[in-house]
Amino acid sequence: MTGSQLRPETLAIHAGWRADPSTGSVAVPIHQTTSYQFRDADHASALFALQELGNIYTRIMNPTTDVLENRVAALEGGVAGLALASGQAASAYSIQNLARAGDNVVSSTDLYGGTWNLFANTLKDQGIEVRFVDPTDPEGFRRATDERTRAYYAETLPNPKLEVFPIAEVAAIGRPLGIPLIMDNTAAPMLCRPLDHGAALVVYSATKYLGGHGTSIGGLIIDGGGFDWEAHAERQPLLNTPDPSYHGAVWSQAAKPLGPIAYILRARVVLLRDLGAALSPFNAFQLIQGVETLALRIERHCQNAQRVADFLAARKGVTRVIHPSQQSGPARARADKYLGGRYGGLVGFELDGGVDAGRRFIDALQLFYHVANIGDARSLAIHPASTTHSQLTAAEQAATGVTPGYVRLSIGLEHIDDILDDLDRALTAAGAG
Ligand code: PLP
């Protein structure tokens, strides 16, 4: 089923699959195979030469994973997807597919802590400089740009600040310069389609809301197909100069017969081939099960999180509630523009009493799990300053919005009264109200 006219709720269940042609299986089968029998020598040569797209080896592609890739690409309004073993692999490859040693990327400071570490340390060690800028000033991206800038990078709804990124504004700065905006949409599937606002590529940690069940780590890169790589040959050499690792292929040319997929094709047949962060077919299957219920889950996550934000805002001892509904001015305007009036499942808050109160709160929770994840069916809580963000310097923590007493909640799908009862109990134990 192609059906770009279908609505997101329908695409999440149907896109990329109808039934197995040989068995009639309605559920997507788990193709737990490493390899694929070639029809004959000509067929094998055509596949390796990319004259024909087809299955070669599961490190590079797999029929189960293919359904996940096509389904999420359809949901995002993109032309193709690449599933990877984790969200971290997706973030790393999204940059490495455009930038090499000596190049740079301009990124928002408002990032998941793991992405910050990847950018500030590991990519730096590989010779790729990431320049961090304040996302509330889109012009900061232009100012940080030079002739070696290959991409802009940001998160749609970054935690812990939960201030929505100005997607269209920054995309519009990059496009004429030949610089694509890569958006990590992990916290906002179904709420925002960054490609509709001018982003060129979307990155996901599928581990979170796409899966929703907290069983499987996975990541995705979605190619919007609307970025003119060829028109910016000097800016984007990796897609416009002969690739010695692939018989001198120039990706912006070689991909043409297959569609506007130069970026994602190179990511698959060069980066995934060489670096190998392949998603297992079983995890692809699990993530497909999650995506099927994504629309309903997101609706409930948003409703429950809104109730939690209202509850916390009225609670003595809570000095600050971090949720788009509590924002005003430009941040609120961006939340309403890009999330369509629903604000996702994450809520942050700050307790009077700083680190100690935050720790007491975490230890008193009974229903909420104390974990580093977000986007699970279960409600989750964490104290970032002593966990996910503890590797960062105090200045880096401050730049990403983590203060000592900050607690992050990922609100699940339980009955709202049970969620509020648990929060009430833990807040009392922490000395709040
Ligand atoms: N991006 C965001 C916004 C995340 O929250 C995470 C994980 O927490 C990642 C990327 C990394 O994803 P993964 O844990 O699947 O590697």
Using one digit for the tens of pLDDT, what is the confidence trace for 382-400?
988 878 777 777 787 777 7
Q: Tens of pLDDT along 26-63?
A: 999 999 999 999 999 999 999 988 888 899 999 999 99
Average pLDDT over residues 341-369: 93
pLDDT at 4: 59
pTM of the prediction?
0.97
Separation of CA 50 and ligand 1 centre (Å): 32
Q: Tens of pLDDT along 306-315?
A: 999 999 999 9
User: What domains lie within the chain, and their CATH numbers?
Assistant: 3-289 (3.40.640.10), 295-429 (3.90.1150.10)
| SS3 letters across the chain | CCCCCCCHHHHHHHCCCCCCCCCCCCCCCCCCCCECCCCCHHHHHHHHCCCCCCCCECCCCCHHHHHHHHHHHHHHCCCEEEEECCHHHHHHHHHHCCCCCCCEEEEECCCCHHHHHHHHHHHHHCCCEEEEECCCCCHHHHHCCCCCEEEEEEECCCCCCCCCCCHHHHHHHHHHHCCCEEEECCCCCCCCCHHHHCCCEEEEECCCCCCCCCCCCCEEEEECCCCCCHHHCCCCHHHHCCEHHHCCECHHHHCHHHCCCHHHHHHHHHHHHHHCCCCCHHHHHHHHHHHHCHHHHHHHHHHHHHHHHHHHHCCCCEEEEECHHHCCHHHHHHHHHHHCCCCCCEEEEEECCHHHHHHHHHHHCCCCEECCCCCCCCCEEECHHHCCCCCCCHHHHHHHCCCCCEEEEECCCCCHHHHHHHHHHHHHHCCCC
pLDDT at 402: 80
Average pLDDT, the chain: 95
pLDDT at 399: 73
Average pLDDT over residues 347-358: 89
Average pLDDT over residues 333-343: 96
Separation of CA 301 and ligand 1 centre (Å): 18
Q: Whose CA is nearest to atom 14 of ligand 1?
A: 87
Q: Is the pLDDT of residue 1 over 50?
A: no
Q: Is the pLDDT of residue 3 over 60?
A: no
Please tell me the least confidently modeled range out of 3-17, 130-144, 276-290, 304-318. Answer: 3-17
pLDDT at 119: 98
Residue from 68, 84, 94, 112 to probe ligand 1 pocket by mutation (most atoms less than 8 Å from CB): 112
Q: Is the pLDDT of residue 376 over 50?
A: yes
Q: Tens of pLDDT along 149-193?
A: 999 999 999 988 999 999 999 999 999 999 999 999 999 999 999
Of ligand 1's atoms, which has the minimum distance to the CA of residue 218?
A: 15
Residues with CB under 6 A from ligand 1: 86-88, 91, 112, 114-115, 155, 184, 186-187, 205, 207, 217, 219, 374
